[in-house]
Structure 1
Amino acid sequence: MGRREVRDSEIKLRHANPDVSGGASTGPVERSLFKHSDFLKFWSADSISFFGSQFSTLAIPWVAVTTLGADASQMGVLGALSLLAFPLFGLFVGVWVDRNLRKRTMIVSNLGRALLLGTIPAATILGGLSMNLLYIVSFLVGTLQTFFDIGYQAYVPSLVERTQLVEANSKLETSRSTAQVAGPSIAGVLVQIFSAPYVILGDVLGYSGSATFLSAIRKKEATPEATGKTVLEDIKEGLAVVLRNRSLSSIAGCTATSNLFSNAYGVLLLLFFYNELHMTALESGIVFTLGGIGSVVGALTSSRISRVLGVGWAIVSGALIFGVASLAFYFAAQPFAIPLMAIAQFVIGLTTVLYNVNQVSYRQALVPPELQGRMNASMRFIVWGTIPIGAILGGVLGQWLGVRPAIGVASIGSTLAFLWVIFSPVRKIREIPGREQRTR
């Protein structure tokens, strides 16, 4: 097939008018996800993988600091290398995911990460541990994680019915949120007992177990058809799916804006807690822990809330309440600062998950299977690109205005992010689009 331009008519989304709410699936009769053996295997695989990753998230930097004596600049390089893969390769990985079997991609990614992380305790035993090894492992693990994450979101719609996507993503997010709350604490205890390099073996076992569960999934994937297009044409088509659809582009704009401003105030919070509110590390930890608990509650209730409000208003309300809750930081003052900010963090955690579960489920249902990888890669490229900019913006505002005023300005910006979705077709979405609803 020769070179061709990407046109709107070629991007076949899943309902005849993407600006109007979807209807019920006309596919097979649904079964409970608790009786869906393949989903349960996938859920187990993801839970084990994500929980194990909390060990290396803590242990690798701890190894660098306590075992190798890394300084601030080395820690900065280590952190950057773990995040560099997505902006470098994300759009290309989206093309790969759409051209290859997604389950196989996730299995290889997990096994690769297990092997790479296993080199750290092995090098410790053999006396070859170095910062260069940590740099290489962090970058390569981040690269394989990019393959896994894009494949993961693209695979879910092929595993469950479209009307079960919100429930499926809620269950997956419940495990992830629980891991984020409990994982670091457990990892910290294990580091104290066994030493950081050996705690990474928990992550090795997690990725290996995840690959085993994925391999046990019996449902066969359809082999992707060759399109005859170049990689750049495929990337262009993926970006067009997001940018030329009003619902998807407004979700991208909302998420990118929220990420920009929430990271702007996020980099200032610990400084604010310590210097202005004179909070202890324990008090700061309590505030952030409430955010994790809110995430778990959000994951458990997102499906029910979306049924009551509708998918569109769940997205809109999640974005709005997230921003409004962040304004509490600006107004926090002793003696009520800790309870006020703890409540705010709880609400932020809950609404973040409410927003994400519903917008991810809608995207997965709207876009056909052959575009899932590129759509997810394009969306992440847009919405994650503002995160480092937000961190820089927060530092500049903090220096220019002072910490509290900078947090206030950034919180207002975060609140206004909801305008992207309230003045878009998103608010009209009542249900997840059904199987038969797509443009022709």
Structure 2
Amino acid sequence: MPDEEVRSRREVLRQPAFALFWSAATLRAFGGSIAGVAFQVLIVTVIDATPLQISVLSALGVVPYLFLGLIIGALMDRWRRQRTLVLTSIGRAVVLAIIPVLLLTGTLGFWSLAAVVLTLGVLTLFADSAAQPLLPRIVPRDALVMANARLGQSQTVAETAGPALGGTLMNLVGAPLLFAFDAVINAVAALLQWRIAVDEPRAEPRPPGRHVGHEIADGMRYTYGHRTLRPLALSVHVWFLGNSIVTTVFAVFVLRALDLPAWAFGIALAFGALGGFTGAVVAPAIGIRFGAGRAILLGRALVVVPWAVLAVAPLSAATAVGVVLAVVSGAQFVYGLAMGIEDANDIGYRQAVAPDGIQGRMNSTIRTVNRVVFFFGALLTGVLMTAFGFAATLGIGAAVFAVAAVVVLVSPLRTARHDDAPDASD
């Protein structure tokens, strides 16, 4: 491999445009994790939400993807993606700044908080839909895996340290200042995103008789008609079904069936974050050495192991806490490791293989279907737990993950490489 190519993969943070992009994404990830703690406190203590209201507030985070995901994806192939990122960060800053006002005036209630959550969900959808197709325009194709790995690493650190920092700040400064702080973070992110130097060509005018529905259909045909994107999309859809099952049952299985203390549960989750960070670190090297397809296959196959082990391990509430903690922490580490390996290679490959003019629609098609699958998979899990129990449900999740791996194994995606893809910016 030429030295210049190796350096381009290793030095992605030295590229000014990506450094700004990464800095803004990292700031927003930390801000979101910190504010997430404050949101939970508001829901439980300030507005004293009922279980039904808590479910509604949780669902509002998914609703924008279900109803607007495909439409916004099509718009991102026509709008300036950088401008969209800037405007959404400004919008988030304004919405977050409203929360301290509502708190200080005593007017924060369920419906006002629901409006805030829904608005933030829509803005996040716009931001995510713009960020993924923008990245191939600011990073060379051979650096996309490394770029996604860097983003994954900072996201993992934010998700690990953010809640602890948020809880501390909540006690020190209170919710109003905490939300004001997050608003400032988003304003700074908007400034960083505005400074990104990127060339975005104008979209061609729509021919007479065509509308956004035609463009959505074109994106779906492209995604599911492509030789390697089709199995990638189908595999990740199946993966999301498996993930909806295991993530829904995991906490109740560990805390109720195994009677693991809350402090030990937190340690186990921390091992999952450590695994995710480790996977993101090694993902570029694995993708370069073995190719995108085999790296994705490794991640898909590896994720079967922890959930199969938990399903068959002879653990119960009578098992020593140390033994349960060791097994659960190991399972979480492998789970995070598998995701870290596959995420950077999965996203990097699809960004590299799709032309710029259809990036938004391709990504939104995959992301929207993923969330629909997750939504209904989580509902299905309740039925599975009731009918078969916790351990058997984890086994079903592991089997679904195995199907996702088989889809890659028997498809042309298995031998795909990042450097075989045409330049997405062409």
- 2:298 maps to 1:290: no
Contact 2:27–2:186 (8 Å) recurs in 1: yes
Is the CA contact (8 Å cut-off) linking 2:62 and 2:371 kept in structure 1? no
| Structure-2 change in CA distance of 1:141 and 1:121 (3 Å) | same
- Secondary structure of the equivalent of 1:225? coil
Q: Does residue 407 of structure 2 align to residue 420 of structure 1? A: yes
Segment of structure 1 superposing worse, 231-240 or 214-223: 214-223
The equivalent residue for 1:162 is 141
* CA displacement at 1:324 relative to structure 2: 1.9
Aligned position for 1:337? 324
**Residues 207-216 or 264-273, more deviating:** 264-273
Residue 240 (structure 1) aligned to one of 198, 216, 221: 221
Query: What is the CA–CA distance in structure 2 between the aligned matches of 1:274 and 1:435, rounded to whole Å?
Result: 48
Contact 2:92 2:123 in 1 (8 A): yes
**CA contact 2:60–2:118 (8 Å) conserved in 1:** yes
**Whole-angstrom distance in 1 between the partners of 2:43 and 2:296:** 40
1:70 alignment partner, SS class: coil
Q: Counterpart of 2:286?
A: 305
**1:199 maps to 2:178:** yes
- The question of 1:360 aligning with 2:339 is answered no
State the AA in 1 paired with 2:255: Y
Give 1:316's aligned residue: 297
Residue number in structure 2 paired with 1:390: 377
| TM-score under structure 2 length normalisation | 0.93
- Is 1:133 matched up with 2:112? yes
Q: Is 1:68 paired with 2:47? A: yes
1:269 partner letter:
F
8 A contact 2:89–2:189 mirrored in 1: yes
Whole-Å separation in 1 of the counterparts to 2:120 and 2:424? 38
Aligned-residue offset at 1:75: 0.9
- Say if 2:92 is the partner of 1:110: no
* d(CA) in 2 for partners of 1:214, 1:266: 33
Equivalent position SS for 1:417 = helix
Specify which of 10, 29, 38 is matched with residue 17 of structure 2: 38
Question: Is contact 1:99–1:226 with CA below 8 Å preserved after alignment?
Answer: no
What is the Cα deviation at residue 437 of structure 1?
Answer: 9.3
Specify which of 182, 190, 197 is matched with residue 211 of structure 1: 190
1:188 alignment counterpart: 167
Residue from 311, 318, 333 that aligns with 1:346 = 333
Match of 1:99, SS?
coil
What is the alpha-carbon distance in structure 1 between the residues aligned to residue 216 and residue 128 of structure 2? 17
8 Å Cα contact 1:290-1:346 kept in structure 2: yes
Stretch moving more, 383-392 or 107-116: 383-392
Deviation digits for residues 128-159 of structure 1 (CA, Å, limit 9, x no counterpart): 21211111011011001111001000000000
Q: Which residue of structure 1 aligns with residue 74 of structure 2?
A: 95
Stretch deviating more after TM superposition (399-408 or 41-50): 399-408
Q: Distance in 2 between matches of 1:50 and 1:432?
A: 30
Residues 52 and 203 of structure 1 are in contact (CA less than 8 Å); yes or no, is this contact kept in structure 2?
yes
Instruction: Supply the AA of the counterpart residue of 1:193.
Output: L
Deviations, residues 183-241 of structure 1 (Å, cap 9, x unaligned): 11111111122223432223212211110101111233222222323100000011111
> SS state of the match for residue 228, structure 2?
helix
Indicate how the Cα distance of structure 1 residues 436 and 266 shifts in structure 2: closer, same or farther if over 3 A, else same.
closer
- Is 1:319–1:417's contact at 8 Å kept on the other side of the alignment? yes
* SS of equivalent to 2:201: coil
- SS of residue in 1 equivalent to 2:338: helix
Instruction: State the alpha-carbon separation in 1 of the partners of residues 188 and 248 from structure 2.
Output: 35
More helix by share: 2
Output the CA distance in 1 between the equivalents of 2:391 and 2:121: 34
In structure 2, list runs of 5 or more residues that go unmatched: none
**In structure 2, distance between residues paired with 1:226 and 1:50:** 35
Which residue identity lines up with residue 215 of structure 2 in the other structure? D
* 1:63/1:197 contact within 8 Å kept: no
Opposite residue 297 of structure 2, the aligned amino acid is V
Partner of 1:370: 357
Q: Which runs of 5+ in 1 are unaligned?
A: 1-22
Is this contact kept in 1: 2:275–2:337, CA < 8 A? yes
Q: Relative contact order, CA 8 A, sep 6+: which one is greater?
A: 1
Preserved contact between residue 256 and residue 385 of structure 1 (Cα < 8 Å):
no
Percent identity between matched residues is: 28
Greater Cα offset, 162-171 or 423-432: 423-432
- CA apart distance, 1:288: 1.1
Is 2:354–2:424's contact at 8 Å kept on the other side of the alignment? no
- Three-state SS of the structure 2 residue aligned to 1:268 is helix
C-alpha distance in 2 between matches for 1:67 and 1:143 = 24
* Alignment-derived partner of residue 149 in structure 1: 128
Shift of 1:436: 5.9
3-state DSSP class of the match of 1:98?
Answer: coil
Distance 1:414 1:167 in 2: 25
8 Å contact 2:269–2:332 — kept in the other structure? yes
Contact kept? 1:101, 1:224, Cα under 8 Å:
no
RMSD (Å), alpha carbons: 2.1
Task: Indicate if the aligned counterparts of 1:55 and 1:202 stay in contact, CA closer than 8 A.
Answer: no
